Amino acid sequence: MSLVKNEWMKIFSKVSTYIFIAFLLLAALGTAIIDYKLSPDETSKDWKQELNADIQEQQKALEAKEISKDEKAMIMEEINLNKQLLADNINPDLNTNWTYMAEWTTSLTSFVTLFVVIVCSSLVSSEFSDGTIKQLLIRPYKRWKILLSKYITSLLFAALLLASLLIFSYLIGIIFFGNGSYSDKIMDPASFEFSPVVVGEYFVDMIVYWIPGFLVITTIAFMLSTLFKNQALAVGISIFILFASSTLNMVIQSFIGKYEWLKFVLFPHIDLRGYISGTIEMFDGATLGFSMGVLGIYYLIFLALTFFFFQKKDITN
């Protein structure tokens, strides 16, 4: 615990840590303002009455003599959508703190990943760059304990940033949109089809399914921090992997039908949120259990390599 406390103090001795937290606050505030500006001016009306009125107007429009087939098909789609919204008791103009978080906060988690990658990839490499690694290792602790304390600190910092984002978003959402119900129904924000979801459950699922891939990316960044003595190189490679992962995923997806072994490559499994509503493309035959298993194996491999190389590393400058 003393080692963890020491590493925690190191993290909060850097100005960048406070900048990261402040950025998450500003990002939550900025997206709330955007959402508020885009929301309807009046949301207190009887939305069911409005939908029924819209349906009546659309049905009248169908009776027009000069209407084309394309226009008729479009109006029919709108009528069917409005009827489905009424049948499932879904307010299309609903705007609460929960709808805001479901639409915006789930995207802001990418900033948490970026900031954690930057910190994790410099936790060990910075000790070499600053020349403090020798002073660290002469302390009466085994190497693996020192490294474990850094890894635990990185996970705690990741949890802090995620908790900060969720708290900021929840409170800012209440200020701008009011405290809504966890059980309100909305349309899946990531789907282009009629796909009703319970807003609170959807938001929790989006966060929970994001965490495993986030944990693996964090561990990769931490591993690179132990492999490279140059801090800039470790941070640069970690950020490159982070931003290149989506591109690599698309490339692998295009060849996965030809080469079965590509199913075991890491990148198609990083974002598990595709299993929630099928909005993120997954390869044929992919299951949540299989993806979790692949992530778990890679996680253990990366963690084992991290501790192995640090134990064997030559501490000379």
Query: In this predicted model, what pLDDT tens digit does every residue of 197-234 receive, in sequence order?
Result: 899 999 999 999 999 999 999 999 888 888 877 777 77
In this predicted structure, the answer to whether residue 160 has a pLDDT above a threshold of 90 is yes
In this predicted structure, the answer to whether residue 85 has a pLDDT above a threshold of 90 is no
In this predicted structure, the answer to whether residue 17 has a pLDDT above a threshold of 80 is yes
| Window from 169-183, 248-262, 278-292 with minimum mean pLDDT | 278-292
Task: Kindly report the number of other CB atoms within 10 A of residue 63's CB atom.
Answer: 7
In degrees, rounded to 5, the angle at the alpha carbon of residue 217 between the alpha carbons of residues 231 and 134 is 30
120 close to 238: Cβ distance less than 8 angstroms = yes
C-alpha closest to that of 225 among 216, 215, 236:
236
pLDDT band at 43 (very low <50, low <70, confident <90, very high): low
Whole-number pLDDT of residue 40: 66
Whole-number pLDDT of residue 279: 56
In this predicted structure, the answer to whether residue 239 has a pLDDT above a threshold of 90 is no
Whole-number pLDDT of residue 175: 94
pLDDT band at 296 (very low <50, low <70, confident <90, very high): very high
Cβ burial, residue 122 (10 Å; 0-12/13-18/19+): buried
Whole-number pLDDT of residue 314: 67
Whole-number pLDDT of residue 280: 57
- pTM for the structure as a whole: 0.86
Whole-number pLDDT of residue 153: 92
Task: Give the type of residue at 1.
Answer: M
Helices (H), the chain: 2-11, 15-38, 47-62, 69-87, 97-100, 106-123, 125-130, 133-137, 143-177, 199-227, 231-255, 274-277, 288-312
In this predicted structure, the answer to whether residue 36 has a pLDDT above a threshold of 60 is yes
Mean pLDDT value of segment 146-155:
90
Mean pLDDT value of segment 163-167:
96
Print the SS3 string covering 12-39: CCCHHHHHHHHHHHHHHHHHHHHHHHHC
Whole-number pLDDT of residue 19: 95
Whole-number pLDDT of residue 271: 84
Mean pLDDT value of segment 85-94:
86
Whole-number pLDDT of residue 245: 78
How much of the chain, in percent, has pLDDT values that exceed 90?
32
